[in-house]
Amino acid sequence: MSSQFELASPFFVSPAPLSRFSAMHWPVHSLASNRAWHGADYWINERAKNQRYSFRMLRYWFIDCLLASERQRLGRPLAVLEVGVDRGQMKAFVDGVPGDRALYSAWDAADVNPQIEALSAAGYAACHRLDLDDTDSLARFVGNRRTQYDVVILLHVLEHLTKPERAVTFLSGVLAAGGIVIGGFPVLPSGIARLRERQLRDTARPFGHISAFSPRRVRKMAERAGLETEYAAGAFAWRASGSRFEDRQWWLRLNVAFGALLPGWPGEIYWQLRKPATAASPARGLAVHHGMAAAAD
């Protein structure tokens, strides 16, 4: 793919350093023209499917744009690990963007109960079993795949874990030097998030949310894993799902701008954390001494 084509493409995402306002300038064609989620067999309700810029799909748009930015930065396709894949909605969204972007060279899956046949048919190169809340499972997984990936995707996964920081620290070990962890989850202001987590822990149901996050917790999570927070921004002020507003690009841009200004506003936050190009990962010590209190608190 030539640089001339990339710069002219409506799907081009600048490789310039990210700021929390970057999403205000990202292309939206991957939402409006996406072949996958507008298709009959995509896992989304019909009302949302009929909107050009459905906010239910913003989670995939944010990750797709972060992937495109990293692919432009490196100048080559990415080696991707997606953790917590469900039925493969994230990869389907990426594959549904028109044009040959050569975004990834390999895309692997890891899940507590991977649907291997369906995921293999969807084009996942490998499907691994991984329990993010189990230290032994994490240690085995990371020990076999150290410094293998350019990108680890954790999209709406960490809120389901009792120890999300531990999972991120371990998974940083499978990143190549300079690689990134990208993801997102519900967000609240710091004080409210702490109260909300106590409530979630008292009332949690199987596979439900049990951890709550604030922008501050995102930064602390990155620091603990030896990563740098390069991007963290909210997604919207008001979702208005299924309304005619979701057919208007200005409504999307307005909400993204609001999320950049107030990332802790109750809604969702999306983020990118980068592994240093040379520093050793804390995951090495955790993989060897996985009973450490520092990994379990």
CA pair distance 51, 248, nearest whole angstrom: 9
Start-to-end CA distance of the chain, whole Å, equals 47
Asked if residue 7 belongs to a domain, the reply is no
Tell me how far the alpha carbon of residue 22 is from its chain's centroid: 16
Asked if residue 106 belongs to a domain, the reply is yes
Asked if residue 13 belongs to a domain, the reply is no
Structural domain boundaries, residue 269:
18-296
Take residue 132 and report the two structure tokens written for it: 């993010």
- The SS3 call for residue 28 is coil
Average confidence score pLDDT of the chain:
88
CA pair distance 79, 30, nearest whole angstrom: 21
**Sequence letter at residue 263:** P
Asked if residue 12 belongs to a domain, the reply is no
pLDDT of 94 reads 96
161-214 residue pLDDT tens: 999 999 999 999 999 999 999 999 999 999 999 999 999 999 988 889 999 999
Reported as a pLDDT band with limits 50, 70 and 90, residue 46 is: confident
CATH of the domain at 49: 3.40.50.150
Beta 267-274 vs 175-187: how paired, if at all? antiparallel
pLDDT of 99 reads 87
pLDDT of 294 reads 36
For the segment 79-104, the average pLDDT, to the nearest whole number, is: 94
Query: Based on the number of CB atoms within 10 Å of its own CB, is 95 exposed (0-12), middle (13-18) or buried (19 or more)?
Result: middle
Asked if residue 3 belongs to a domain, the reply is no
49-66 residue pLDDT tens: 788 899 999 999 999 999
Spell out the residues 6+ positions from residue 213 whose beta carbon is closer than 8 angstroms to its own.
158, 159, 164, 185, 186, 187, 188, 193, 269
295 closest CA partner among 136, 189, 180: 136
